[in-house]
Amino acid sequence: MSIEIALGAALLAAFPRLRRRLQLSRAKHPSLAGHSRMAKRVARLVPGYGYDEQEFFGVDGAPPEVQARRRNGFELLSRHLCESAPATLALTARAREGLSDLQLTGRYRVPFQFSEYVRGKLPVGAFWQSAAGVQLQDLDGNRYYDLTGSYGVNVFGVDFYKACMEEGARLGSALGPVLGGYHPCVAELVERLRAISGLDEVSFHMSGTEAVMQAVRLARYHTGRKHLVRFTGAYHGWWEDVQPGPGNPLPPRETYTLKDMDETTLRVLRTRRDIACVLVNPLQALHPNRNAPGDSTLVDGSRQAGFDRAAYTAWLQRLRQVCSERGIVLILDEVFVGFRLAPGGAQEYFGVQADLVTYGKTLGGGLPVGVVCGRAELMRRFKPERPADLCFARGTFNAHPHVMGSMLAFLRRIETPGIRAIYQDEPRWSGWAERFNQALRDGDLPVRIDALSSIWTVSYTQPSRYHWMLQYYLREQGLALSWVGTGRLIFSLNYSDADLAEVLRRFVGACCRMEADGWWCSPGLTHQAIRRGLLREMLQQRLAWN
């Protein structure tokens, strides 16, 4: 052993705080997503600038002939998008100025350097007239296959939710807006949710974000510890503590963002005494340690994904064991994946029992909701031995009669043989993803699909500055994505094989058009060269500012 190593070991043995600090650093993912504080600093340094028309088509140094093809394709695409949906686009333009959310989503569909030019030329309508089956219709009568999935709410198809909402409204109509007391159906809901979650108690909230807030608050209250652990890249709503990086103006406080599926994280959990809970969003199984794959961050195409059910199951089981040993509350945040993967949610699908589970989105049967289920001793909001020490949680609209009614309709319906059969058919989704991949390989197209059941993500097999353009070619083909773009395709489980075959045809068609228009023609380009070029650009912009 060298003298330096021996000295280092002696130092660590003598200073346990230093050792724990080092352990924490080792459990952080090396990417910016793993370093919230640093990511915020870097985000503040990025200068705002945009490409002019010249740069827009040739920022990767493509030859003039390729740039000409791109211009021509872009022009046709622009004409199609503008001319096919005039009423939808007019209303979108009218609402934009006063609708903050629309300004954000419109701006962050694509990498910011391209954003302004794209917004002017490739407008995307934000309004829908109606929905039926697996399709959406805009104000101009155009029909699109719905791959937005309504942020994951739409698991069984819009007609299913319309029926739940109607039934909920009927059930709740005699009470109308009466709050505070409960509609009688709440008793049945509690029984059903206890059975589904395998947990003792239930609380109702108004959104997934609120359910997560309450679960973390309860964990802190009962353990007397402050810190929560979340995994790199995982989304748990927009509350401060679970969103410690860019997007939140405050610096990270009591949140440790650690590596998902990694031994160093277990070591931290085994040794620290300040951790109240571990939050898990099982959607991350599709892209562990990576942020939601939005097209606005698709600057070079190095997005990667891949779902390994056995490995993720084994990880959750190890996490369960360590949390039990250390008295850390394991919270499974099923707001996104709950009721999509199996009737018993992610707990059933991955074979793990959590201490607290959060649900939301689809569980409201089409209406807004958040739910926490948990072990009795964790759900209690008071301590009889210390009556003034409460864990307060309310919310005016929690347990609204209409929401409770549509949730009951949802829970009753998912027990019917038709829905049970849909759940049994889960392997169908990986089969279809493989069919898409085969077609993409056959067409020699640089695109691949990874699937976590009916939640898909698109990755790219070669470097390019223009992968995000695919979302517009998909739109042209009548496939509607959310503002996140090609990183998140969400199918409802009522897609028939005929629907999927049609989506496949259109998807491959969009890729072929994109290929023919030259967007993937950038010979010799590497991810590294793209990143270097971007850094150079940004430095130049900063210098020009100063």
Ligand X SMILES: Cc1ncc(COP(=O)(O)O)c(C=O)c1O
Contacting positions for ligand X (CB under 6 A): 151, 207-209, 212, 235-237, 281, 333, 335-336, 360
Beta carbon of residue 288, minimum distance to ligand X (angstroms, whole number): 14
Structure tokens at 527: 């991810």
Q: Is 184 helix (H, G, I), strand (E, B) or coil?
A: coil
Question: Angle at CA 287, nearest 5°, toward 199 and 347?
Answer: 15
Q: How far apart are alpha carbons 178 and 172 in whole angstroms?
A: 9
Beta carbon of residue 208, minimum distance to ligand X (angstroms, whole number): 2
Decide whether 126 or 511 has the Cβ nearer to ligand X.
126
Q: How far apart are alpha carbons 24 and 34 in whole angstroms?
A: 11
Minimal CB distance residue for ligand X: 208
What values do phi and psi take at 389, rounded to 5? -100, 90
Q: How far apart are alpha carbons 447 and 463 in whole angstroms?
A: 11
Decide whether 24 or 292 has the Cβ nearer to ligand X.
292
Q: Exposed/middle/buried for 474, CB within 10 Å: 0-12, 13-18, 19+? A: buried
Decide whether 212 or 458 has the Cβ nearer to ligand X.
212
Task: Give the residue from 171, 172, 124 showing the smallest Cα distance to 474.
Answer: 124
Contacts of 301 (CB under 8 A, 6+ apart): 460, 462, 463, 464, 467, 527
Decide whether 400 or 513 has the Cβ nearer to ligand X.
400
Structure tokens at 63: 């030859």
Beta carbon of residue 485, minimum distance to ligand X (angstroms, whole number): 16
Task: Give the residue from 378, 332, 379, 375 showing the smallest Cα distance to 352.
Answer: 332
Task: Give the residue from 339, 409, 368 showing the smallest Cα distance to 172.
Answer: 409
Q: Is 473 helix (H, G, I), strand (E, B) or coil?
A: helix
Beta carbon of residue 237, minimum distance to ligand X (angstroms, whole number): 3
* H/E segment holding residue 460: strand 455-460
What's the helix, strand, coil split of the chain in %, to 5? 50, 10, 40
Decide whether 336 or 339 has the Cβ nearer to ligand X.
336
Decide whether 168 or 360 has the Cβ nearer to ligand X.
360
Decide whether 232 or 477 has the Cβ nearer to ligand X.
232
Beta carbon of residue 154, minimum distance to ligand X (angstroms, whole number): 13
Beta carbon of residue 242, minimum distance to ligand X (angstroms, whole number): 8
Contacts of 307 (CB under 8 A, 6+ apart): 285, 286, 450, 451, 452
| DSSP output for 291-312 | ----GGG-SSS-------HHHH
Q: Quick one: CA torsion of 212, 215, 216, 218, rounded to 10 degrees? A: 160
Beta carbon of residue 126, minimum distance to ligand X (angstroms, whole number): 18
Decide whether 85 or 278 has the Cβ nearer to ligand X.
278
Q: How far apart are alpha carbons 198 and 343 in whole angstroms?
A: 12
Decide whether 333 or 355 has the Cβ nearer to ligand X.
333
Q: How far apart are alpha carbons 60 and 515 in whole angstroms?
A: 15
Decide whether 182 or 235 has the Cβ nearer to ligand X.
235
Beta carbon of residue 209, minimum distance to ligand X (angstroms, whole number): 3
Place of tokens 């009218």: 94
Beta carbon of residue 238, minimum distance to ligand X (angstroms, whole number): 7
Decide whether 154 or 522 has the Cβ nearer to ligand X.
154
Decide whether 89 or 212 has the Cβ nearer to ligand X.
212
Q: What residue type is assigned to position 454 of the chain?
A: S
Beta carbon of residue 96, minimum distance to ligand X (angstroms, whole number): 22
Q: How far apart are alpha carbons 32 and 484 in whole angstroms?
A: 20
Beta carbon of residue 359, minimum distance to ligand X (angstroms, whole number): 9
Beta carbon of residue 258, minimum distance to ligand X (angstroms, whole number): 17
